[in-house]
Amino acid sequence: MSSANSYEGVLLIDKPDGMTSHDVVDKVRHKLKMKRVGHAGTLDPNATGLLIILVGKATKLSQFLMGLDKTYEGVITFGVATTTQDVEGEVVSEQPVPELSEDQLKEAMQTFVGDQYQTPPMFSAKKIDGVALYKLARKGKTVEREPRFIHISSFTLDKWETPDMEFTLSCSKGTYVRTVANDLGEKLGCGGYLKELRRTDIERFHIEDSIELETFQDLPVEEIKGWLIPSYQAVPSNAI
């Protein structure tokens, strides 16, 4: 068997539903029998899709990969707002969904494209004074959050069948897609939450080039290196 220390590079994993990004890191650590494994950008537990895993010396590439733009596909359900702005939360309001045409939806969606400030949701891992916001939210507390500068480069309607809207969104680092869903619902006057989310692209990295976590775990040891992208290919040559 190859030495564990010989594993190095970027691994593209298709994260399953119901698992944290750190859970995926732990699975990879166990498979490779090494501790030096990290990731370059989290996905919420109920989101699926592309997760960049950094193995061995490639963990130092995090600073070059965390800030890449990302593309998501998802479903927003209108008429309901939740505490977490997604399917995991408790319902806080229900309102009838107005009869909306695709053109009306597209017009509302277009207002979210471009540079803007977005307030992080209370149910998030962002820390204030060293405490994760979601821990405060679970205690029923709400604190002031400083809006973050983000950029949404595109927000397109893929399918509309009331009350669900399928969409594709491309955005900068730090964008909360579930907050976009919530805010779009508010703009339409009926509320909304993120029902499904899947990350398909992180700039030059694509879901088509990833491996499902379960498949990776069953992978013969001799095939693992074939899935590792060398560090010099993962980032610009002048960055390492």
Report the catalytic residues.
Answer: 44
The owner of tokens 């806080």 is 92
The span from the CA of 117 to the CA of 148, in Å, is 5
DSSP codes joined into one string, 206-231: EGGG-EEHHHHHTS-GGGGGGGEEPH
Contacts of residue 69, defined as CB under 8 A and 6 or more positions apart, other chains included, come to 153, 170, 171, 172, 173, 202, 203
Other Cβ atoms less than 10 A from the Cβ of 133: the count is: 20
User: Residue 88 carries which DSSP code?
Assistant: T
What sign does the CA torsion over 179, 180, 181, 184 have?
positive
Q: Which two tokens stand for residue 155?
A: 């927000």
Collapse the DSSP code of 233 into the 3-class scheme (helix H, G, I; strand E, B; otherwise coil) and give the result. helix
